[in-house]
Amino acid sequence: MGSPHVIAIPYPAQGHVIPLMELALCLANQGIRVTFVNTEFDHERIIKSLSKEQNVSDMMQLVSIPDGSETWNDRKDAGKLILSIIQVMPGKMESLIEKINQSENDQITCLIADESMGWALEIAKKMGIRAAAFWPVAASVLALKLSIPKLIDDGIIDTTGAVLKNQMVQLSPTMPAMKPEHFVWACIGDLALQRIVFDVMSGTNRIVKLADWVICNTSDELEAATFTLFPQMLPIGPLLASNRLGKSVGSFWPEDSDCLAWLGKQPVQSVIYVAFGSFTIIDPTQFRELALGLELTNMPFLWVVRQDLTAETDNAYPKGFKDQIQGRGRVANWVPQQQ
């Protein structure tokens, strides 16, 4: 057996890839070899967006496996993407590990999988590899997910995730109360997608028990009550490039770094920042209303507008919008968000 070799796989969304990539780079900086596995679709985007200054560590290799969707499929359809991932990626991941393990001195010693890709933990168990489940966002969301059985027993939701009681819910006396209609699976897409997301979340609750560790991109200081409720969850964050004195890696699109200089010229805490992540799609009417709303604030703003944020983005702006915001508002395709 050679030196430690970690294989890491994120869920294929921007907010999942970047924090796990950050953890992988931290491990690589400690002399641990890392194989980072993206979907073929995301891998191509990341490679294209990497600048010369963002070359990854020599200790980290970026590889890819298919996600089950054809190149022309709409990956913004989260329901279809989730189902194709479950059908195709487990077999591809197992084959990749078997191929790597053919080397006597470079075998996989640990797997780190996004908790939403829980099936990878089953592969690790099957192959005798120690594993960590990684949660990339607030630990309180994972606490909610792990509380699904109790929420069903208490009659708050049914076995499909549908809300039965519209009352405020507290997971513990020291955690904030929340509305069931705001549960993560209950406010995402249509009913069909909500059911798919809930089924996946319920299923990974069982699978996550196979992990040797459950690690979260947060800190005890930020979410002490959550870690008291679920002491098996380990805080290892926040995972920020600035903490290792480096640049964030893993962006799906080239970043507009010029916006940082523009921000630096604005008064402190004066700028409205608007961004909807890598998946959100809004219709042209919503887009125009948002643009007009930003214009009417009469405040400086930085608005991240992906090329696919709405249909025919270039023609979606209200007439004269860019002239009206000249010097006050800035629109960028993608930005270095952590910076």
- Residue 53 has a pLDDT of 59
Strand partners, 112: 8, 132
Task: Give the model's pLDDT for residue 52.
Answer: 60
For residues 175-184, b (16+ Cβ closer than 10 Å) or e, as one string? beeeebeebe
CA distance 187 to 229: 25
Taking alpha carbons only, the member of 151, 136, 110, 142 closest to residue 240 is 136
Q: How many residues in total does the chain contain?
A: 339
Digit-by-digit pLDDT tens for the chain (339 residues) are 568 999 999 999 999 999 999 999 999 999 999 999 999 999 999 998 886 656 678 899 999 999 887 765 566 677 788 888 999 999 999 999 999 999 878 899 999 999 999 999 999 999 999 999 999 999 999 999 999 999 999 999 999 999 999 899 999 999 999 999 999 999 888 899 899 999 999 999 999 999 999 999 999 999 999 999 999 999 999 998 887 777 788 888 888 889 999 999 999 999 999 999 888 888 999 999 999 999 999 999 999 999 889 888 778 899 999 899 998 999 999 998 888
Residue 76 confidence (pLDDT): 64
Closest by CA position to 60, among listed 125, 7, 111: 7
Ramachandran class of 31: left when φ > 0, alpha when ψ lies in -120 to 50, beta otherwise: left
